[in-house]
Amino acid sequence: MLGLVISTRERVFGLDLLRAVAIVCVVHGHGKHFLYGTRMEWLAQLPLPHGVDLFFVLSGFLIGLSVMRMLEGGRFGAQTWRFYGKTALRILPNYYAMLLVNLLLVYWGVVNGDLGAKPLYRFVTLTQNVTSPFVDFYWESWSVPIQWWFYMVFPLAAFLLCHVAGRWALPVTVLLALVGSAVYRLSMLPEVTDGFVYDITIRKTLAARTDSIYVGVLAAWLCRECPVFWRRCRWWALGAGVLLFAAVKVAGAPTEGFYAVVVLPLLVPLAVGMALPALDAWRTARGTVAKGIMVLSILSYAMFMVNLIMAELVDCRMTAFAAGHGVAAYVLFWAMVVAGTAVLYYVVERPAMLVRQRVKSRELRVKK
């Protein structure tokens, strides 16, 4: 499928499914406005989660497991730089490629944007939204600094706390992250006066959202330290997560007040974290649909980086068409996302992954 050779040896189908659902939610969320006022408006109104919440928790879970293995094997010092190198090869090529694309399209006037919204070096250093929001340029990049700085800071923090807290290093790290983000959101409470301010200062800043990733880290610690409980709790935890998510949706999504600013950003990540034991237990699946889900999982990062610019192209360059043919515009948007994903993956991401794979193979040969 799409020329991809999928090895299931190191893949967990349940986690691939979570990643696939996450990217579908993200792309649909950026294109659903085409469906309003059409016979397919019900599709735009489905109570889906923000896909980024799912990505955050999954990233925390996988990196948490990886860091725990390094700490347990006594190889942390030797592997730290390799970990950072492999992370850079995974994250940065797509990010910088789409930064260049956004710069060119805005400069040429193909899509709307403000190149002066934030100094360019902030985007280059992935510091555009540590505490201050940014608007009108490279919107889709907001979640990448949150994950990048988690990858950079968390392993070192876990290593340092390991000498103080021992096996409790990860829970202590999680607690510090939860408290830090909650305190920051509380400090921003007087500033949040409407939905737009909420979106750019709470939902899309590093200081306010880092705790979402650490929910996945806590799940990783439970998986490694309490394996029996992890296996036995999977169904009731899944049920509790579904109920929590349903309760959040029924309660609505206010954008002002203590609940909205301090509590709400963590509730969906907690619900996703509760689903991880069941998803982690779903190791394999066969058939065309399962293979399609795995392909979508593999392509999810490239798809995440290209989908918003495709929505902007339809909005800016096909305005009349989108207004008069919303369903067709939605289908066209998805087709453009798939095409753009293929280009980004095969031109940028896959070559970087091949370098990463060669580095990993060289490490294995050295160990032998």
Distance (Å, rounded) from C-alpha 52 to C-alpha 226? 27
Amino acid 249 reads: K
Nearest to 265 by CA among 154, 146, 178: 178
C-beta of residue 344 within 8 angstroms of C-beta of residue 306: yes
Average per-residue pLDDT for the chain: 92
Q: Which pTM value belongs to this model?
A: 0.94
The burial class, CB within 10 Å (0-12 / 13-18 / 19+), for 31 is buried
Count CA within 13 A, CB hemisphere, residue 171.
10
Cβ atoms within 10 Å of 130's Cβ, excluding its own: 14
In which residue ranges of the chain is pLDDT below 70? 1-9, 73-78, 359-368
Instruction: Write out the two tokens for 356.
Output: 């990463």
Q: By C-alpha distance, which of 63, 132, 140, 142 is closest to 312?
A: 140
Q: What is the pLDDT of residue 253?
A: 87
Domains of the chain: which residue ranges? 1-48+292-363, 54-283
CA distance 116 to 269: 33
DSSP 102-163: HHHHHHTTSS---TTSS-HHHHHTT-TTSSS---SS-GGGGHHHHHHHHHHHHHHHHHHHHH
Answer for the pair 47, 28: CB distance below 8 angstroms, yes or no.
no
CA distance 94 to 74: 32
Digit-coded pLDDT (tens) for 297-342: 999 999 999 999 999 999 999 999 999 999 999 999 999 999 999 9
pLDDT in tens, 337-346: 999 999 999 9
Residue 10 CA to residue 233 CA, distance in Å, equals: 24
Q: If you write DSSP's letter for every residue of 264-277 in order, what string do you get?
A: HHHHHHHHHHHHHH
Other Cβ atoms within 10 Å of 330 Cβ, number? 23
pLDDT of residue 361: 64
